[in-house]
Amino acid sequence: MLVNFFRALQCYRLGNLVDAYQAFEKFANAFTQEFRSWDSAWALEALYVVAYEIRIIAERADRELASNGKSPEKLKGAGSFLMKVFGVLAGKGPKRVGALYVTCQLFKIYFKLGTVHLCRSVIRSIETARIFDFEEFPKRDRVTYMYYTGRLEVFNENFPAADQKLSYALMHCNPQRESNIRMILKYLIPVKLSMGILPTKSLLEKYNLFEYENVVQALKRGDPRLLRHALQEHEDQFLRSGVYLVLEKLELQVYQRLVKKIYFIQRQKDPNKAHQIKLEVIVKALQWLEVDMDIDEVECIMAILINKSLVKGYFAHKSKVAVVSKQDPFPRLNGKPVGS
C-alpha cells in the first residue's frame, strides 16, 4: 500500500499524471481492502480523501492523455473504483454514513463524463434504504447530493421535484460559501421562473447572476424580443448549464404578460369591451416590439395560451378575437409549471 502511495506522489511531483493515477489506484484498492476488514469507521475521513483524490488525479491524467492524442479513460476507471467503495459503505453499520460522500463524488464523475443515467442506481440505493435516516448524513454531503439530484430533475423537466431538492440545498448551504450558493441558484432560478416566481434584482447582483437579468425583465415587460436577445447573448453559458431549453419555454409566459398588458390598457379605455382582444392589436404590439409575426401566428399562440391555462377564455376564429374570462382571465401559476 505504502509503496504505491509514495510512487504516486513521486510521479505526481514529476508531472507524470497517468503514472501517478495508476499508482494511486493500486494504493486506493489496497486501502479499500483493508478498510473493508475493519468493523468500525475510524478511517472514514481517510477514505474521503482517497475518494476525492482519485477523482482529481483521474481528471488531470485524462487531460494529459488527451493532450498526447490518446483516449482519456482514467476518470471512467475512477468511477468504477468508487462504485466498489460505495458497495463497501452502503451496507449496515457505522460505515454507511460515508456512502453519501462517495455518491457525490460519483455524481461529479458522471456529470463530467456525460453519463448521468448511471446516477440512477446509486440514487435508488440512497433513497430506498430505510436503515439510515437521510438527515443523519453530514450536512455537507446532503447539500451536494440534493444539488446534483436537483440538476437531474431539471434535465428530466420535473420542476416541482427540482424545486424541492435545489431549495433544500440552498436552505442548508453554508451562507459563507457564496460560490456554492451561486452554483445552486444557476439551476434554481430557471426552475422558479418556469413556475412563475421571479428573483429580485438584489439577489442577481449579490451572486453575480446577471445572465438572468434580461430574462426576468422580458417576463416583467411581456417582451419576447428581449427574451430572445437574452438567450442569444448567453447561449453558450445556458447550454453548458443545461438550462437553455427551460428558459426557452418561458416564451409562453412572456406572451401571456403581453396579452395581459393589452387587456389592462383596453380596460382603462373601455371596461365593457376589455375582455375582447383583437388579434390585430396583438400583432401591432409585437410590431412595436420589433417582432415580425402575422395574424395566423398570433392566433396559434393564443390557442396555446388558452390550452395551457395561461389565459382563461375562448377564441372566435371568424372575427379573429380572443374572448377572455371576465373573472381571473390570466391565472397565476402559483408555483406550478406551465401546463401542469
- Cβ atoms of 18 and 74 within 8 Å: the answer is yes
Strand order in the sheet with 313-316: 276-278, 321-324, 313-316
Q: Which residues contact 92 (CB under 8 A, 6 or more apart)?
A: 131
- Name the residue with higher pLDDT: 269 or 76: 76
- Cβ atoms of 189 and 199 within 8 Å: the answer is yes
Q: Which residues pair with 278 in a beta bridge?
A: 321
Pairing of strands 313-316, 276-278: unpaired
**Model confidence at 334, in pLDDT bands (50, 70, 90)?**
low
Over residues 184-239, the pLDDT tens digits come to 999 999 999 999 899 999 999 999 999 999 999 999 999 999 999 999 999 999 99
Q: Which residues contact 18 (CB under 8 A, 6 or more apart)?
A: 61, 64, 65, 74
Can you give the pLDDT at residue 335?
A: 62
Can you give the pLDDT at residue 131?
A: 53
Can you give the pLDDT at residue 340?
A: 47
64, 67, 77, 315 from 16: Cα distances, Å: 9, 13, 18, 69
- Which residue has cell 389565459? 311
φ, ψ for residue 198 (rounded to 5)?
A: -100, 140
Can you give the pLDDT at residue 90?
A: 78
3-state secondary structure of 75: helix
Can you give the pLDDT at residue 3?
A: 95
For 275, other C-beta atoms within 10 Å of its C-beta total 18
Give 293's DSSP letter: -
Provide the whole-model pTM: 0.89
Q: Is the dihedral of CA 142, 147, 153, 157 positive or negative?
A: positive
Cα separation, 301 vs 255, whole angstroms? 8
Can you give the pLDDT at residue 125?
A: 78
Cα separation, 270 vs 215, whole angstroms? 32
- Cβ atoms of 295 and 279 within 8 Å: the answer is yes
- Is the per-residue pLDDT at 339 higher than 60? no
